Structure 1
Amino acid sequence: MNLENYFIAQFHNRHIGDDGAVIGKYVYSKDAFFENIHYKREWLSFYDIAKRAMLVNISDALAMGATPKYALLSIAMPKNMTRADMKNLADGFKAVAAQYGIEIIGGDTISNTKLDITITIISEVERTLYRKGIKNNYLFAYTGVLGNSAKELKKLLNLGRIHQKSKFIDIHLREQFLKKSSKVLKAGMDISDGLYSDLEKLTSTNKLGVHFFKQIPKRIGCSGEEYEMLVSFAPQDRKKMVRLAQLSRTKLTIFAKATRNRYTNRCKAHHF
């Protein structure tokens, strides 16, 4: 058990274990976006920092089939930020909030040596997509193209430049795919820690293993912060899922099925 999982295991609560906590008809999700951990200030404008912080949080809500409604922002910011910097940061938060119909209802601001952001998203849900619900022989699939985030991060760490339309900056979430396929999907989560690492979370939750239809290179399987969807569905719904993905213009790769063996993740932990 890695250190992250060990710490989470100290809190015995039935609401813990998914991308958000479901209480009644609401989903509560929270994620951090810290300078020098998730990004470096020279990589992004203040506007883009706020946009990315919001989108990575909204991704968790959408991954559970929920509709984001409210946001609470906690911002720890350096004293050397100017009023113009603060306005650009606020404009980024407001732009994404307007795009998704979210009302920013409060939070907290404190002084810090760097720019650290945590956001709580409160969402409404009718049909929840949990991580649990996978049976033997159910299929696994992921949306979009994986691997570019790790490649772009490596370029940034080597002081290179990336395009403004890069996936690291310009995140596109899969809300239309999730809306159209909600009645067919049996389980799912967003791919934030990498396909292999998040597949481990799904399989351990359902006490199942994996049989891969084709080999996926480690550089793709271990690439984190993809913000694509990892989903599972019954084998008889394969054709229906492919058709639903086409309706939302979403690339869908069916790469494995659930088995009764044990799955071992070979990727290095992202958080510790």
Structure 2
Amino acid sequence: MDEFSFIRSIAPSAYQQSSIIKGIGDDAAVFRPSGQDVVTAVDTMVDGVHFSLETMKPYHIGYRALAANISDLAAMGSVPAFYLVSVVVPPEWNSTGLEELYRGMKDLAAQYRMDVIGGDTVSGSELSVSITVIGYVDKDKGRYRSDARAGDVVFVTGTLGDSRAGLECLLKGSTVNDEEKTFLIHRHQMPEPRASFAQALAGVERLALNDISDGMANEANEIAEASEVDIHLEKEQIPFTPTVKEFFSDYYDEWMLAGGEDFELMGTVSAEEWPEVIKAADRVGLKVSKVGIVKEKQKDNPMVYLHEQGTKRVVTKTGYTHLTKKGE
């Protein structure tokens, strides 16, 4: 299949977004927002760096690549609308593999009524997928890392460490029973971005949000730094899948903090509006857990601490922790 035939094959017969004026088929796409702020993000995934063909089929690669981008929009409180895709295709790939990659994206996009409105395909030595996503959010209602305040509740959605455990199952196998193994592998290959939950939070006045792509430790530090606050996490409150602790007991602490790629949401909200967050999660059938609190920073630099059985550890972006001195 030549490039032009392929473009025709992925062009939608009808667009779901009413703001689209011109989609695929011209030099660029045109859309007209109606009084909302436009949110955009881009992410690139490369074979051998962000994924492996040993653990993912082309369908999973496409699905997961778009999921990562939708998760970025969710962290901004945005409603997903459009995506554009550029793929570097290695010589050993055939049209079937490329079609499957796009099918993975298309199936996920359909859940959010997203339209593909452009992109490019070129030949190269390694498979690379670059996606730009565009979404809308009501004026001045974007969610920013810099909006955390002292006294806020810190929360996360879902369970953490599942994706890393799923990768371990794929790479090395495990004694995890088939049902749980399937669940963990699914969490790795086909993560569910929390865009519906983010939209359900629209009525909450102030939120700081971040998506957990690089691990909870990293995201907590990003919020702390952007907001100039300290974040205190309670280890016993961090949600995890029991199977992960049972079968990967040597690693689950690390994966819970720094496993990454769960694409859950981490955020902070005032104690007064915390009940609204719980209600929003209930409306979309999602688990949400309080995992800590925000405090005024006590040192020159914002810090993240992990509390466990009377001890307090400093948590860096990598997830590595060390004990603080007594009394700190």
| Partners of 2:200 and 2:161 in 1: CA distance | 25
| Partners of 2:281 and 2:108 in 1: CA distance | 24
Unaligned runs of 5+ in 1: 1-23
| Partners of 2:113 and 2:264 in 1: CA distance | 21
| Partners of 1:244 and 1:83 in 2: CA distance | 42
| Partners of 1:51 and 1:214 in 2: CA distance | 32
Shift of 1:214: 4.0
Shift of 1:141: 0.2
Q: Which residue of 2 aligns with 1:149?
A: 163
SS state of the match for residue 81, structure 1? coil
Tell me whether 1:113 sits opposite 2:132 in the alignment. Answer: no
Q: Which residue of 2 aligns with 1:163?
A: 182
Shift of 1:175: 2.4
Q: Which residue of 1 aligns with 2:17?
A: none
| Paired residues of 2:163 and 2:262 also in contact (CA < 8 A) | yes
Shift of 1:95: 2.2
SS state of the match for residue 164, structure 2? helix
Shift of 1:113: 1.8
Structure 2 letter corresponding to 1:150 = R
| Partners of 1:153 and 1:43 in 2: CA distance | 8
Structure 2 letter corresponding to 1:149 = S
Shift of 1:240: 2.9
Matches for 1:43-192 after TM superposition, within 5 Å: 43-126=55-138, 127-158=141-172, 163=182, 166-184=186-204, 185-192=206-213
Q: Which residue of 2 aligns with 1:222?
A: 258
| Partners of 2:233 and 2:102 in 1: CA distance | 44
Structure 1 letter corresponding to 2:226 = T
- My pick for the range that moved more, 179-188 or 135-144, is 179-188
| Partners of 1:159 and 1:243 in 2: CA distance | 38
Tell me whether 1:197 sits opposite 2:218 in the alignment. Answer: yes
Structure 2 letter corresponding to 1:151 = A
2:272 to 236, 253, 256: 236
| Paired residues of 2:70 and 2:195 also in contact (CA < 8 A) | no
| Partners of 1:174 and 1:234 in 2: CA distance | 20
| Partners of 1:108 and 1:83 in 2: CA distance | 14
TM-score (norm 1): 0.83
Tell me whether 1:210 sits opposite 2:231 in the alignment. Answer: yes
TM-score (norm 2): 0.69
Tell me whether 1:253 sits opposite 2:272 in the alignment. Answer: no
Shift of 1:267: 5.1
Query: Residue 212 and residue 47 in structure 1: after superposition, are their counterparts in 2 closer, same or farther (change >3 A)?
Result: closer
Question: Number of matched residues?
Answer: 246
Shift of 1:218: 3.3
**Residue deviations 1:107-149, cap 9 Å, x none?**
2222122211010011111121111111111110000011111
Shift of 1:159: 6.1
Whose Rg is larger? 2
SS state of the match for residue 187, structure 2? coil
- My pick for the range that moved more, 126-135 or 165-174, is 165-174
| Partners of 2:49 and 2:171 in 1: CA distance | 12
Unaligned runs of 5+ in 2: 1-35, 239-252, 305-313, 320-328
